[in-house]
Amino acid sequence: MPRPAISPHVFLSAVPLFKALDSASLSRLAAAATRRSIKRGERVFSKGDVPTGMYVVVYGEIRLLARSAGRERLTGVVRPGRSFGEPVMFLERPAVVDAEAATDALVLHVPREAVFDEIERNPVFARRMIAGLSLRIETMVQEAERQAMGSGRARLIDYLVRHAGSDSGAALVQLPAAKAAVASHLHLTPEHFSRILHELADDGLLEVKGRRIEVLDVQRLAGAAAARRDPEAGQT
């Protein structure tokens, strides 16, 4: 069933980054924005591409992947109502990650010139952009702190619980990238990552079906982080 069309103006007015803007500002940004439908696995941009603007996700998920020496690491997932691409746009440097669709997605591309013109014209928008980038840095620091603490088992459980979308009961966690990329994100080897998943499955806490992780009880899984000593705590 096709999704209903949403005008850029209506959508941007609901996005936290643009929510406080007046109608004239929204109209200018919406007029400059272009839609881009992306199929699962298709790239929005690749590492080394010169930035042309920023992107806002209307629906679907965009994964950000760092690739080097034949390995990939998940650096983030952008969900509906959130933006990406601003840091390299402001630095005017080539992209340092690949941005690709984890699911079928629709994004709005807002050209760099339109963003810069609005920043010069509207101090409210400028403050919003600064606040958004600051929040992203704070989130990255918190993520790094979580990854530096506890065993590999605890880190993986924390990741699953945070992405379960519920505090209790059953939940489905769809890994946004290949298991090896998620493992690298959690500072685990792919082998260690798979071994922990199998242990949790053997304990009756979840079922693994490819990238689909069925958590049987979120609360019970959360309480299992320290239930078993992890002999490879901190392994990368």
pLDDT digits (tens, 9 = 90+) for 124-161: 889 888 988 888 888 878 777 776 667 899 999 999 99
pTM: predicted TM-score of the whole model, two decimal places: 0.79
pLDDT digits (tens, 9 = 90+) for 16-69: 888 878 889 999 999 999 999 999 999 999 999 999 999 999 999 999 999 887
Residue 235 has pLDDT above 50, yes or no: no
Question: Measured between alpha carbons, how far is 102 from 196 in angstroms, rounded to an integer?
Answer: 24
Average confidence score pLDDT of the chain: 88
DSSP string spanning the chain? -PPPP--HHHHHHHSTTTTT--HHHHHHHHHH-EEEEE-TT-EEE-TTPPP-EEEEEEES-EEEEEEETTEEEEEEEE-TT-EE-HHHHHHT---SSEEEESSSEEEEEEEHHHHHHHHHH-HHHHHHHHHHHHHHHHHHHHHHHHHHSS-HHHHHHHHHHHTSS-SSS-EEEE-SS-HHHHHHHTT--HHHHHHHHHHHHHTTSEEEETTEEEES-HHHHHTTTTSS--TTTT--
All structural domains of the chain, each given as residue ranges with its CATH number in brackets, are 8-146 (2.60.120.10), 151-222 (1.10.10.10)
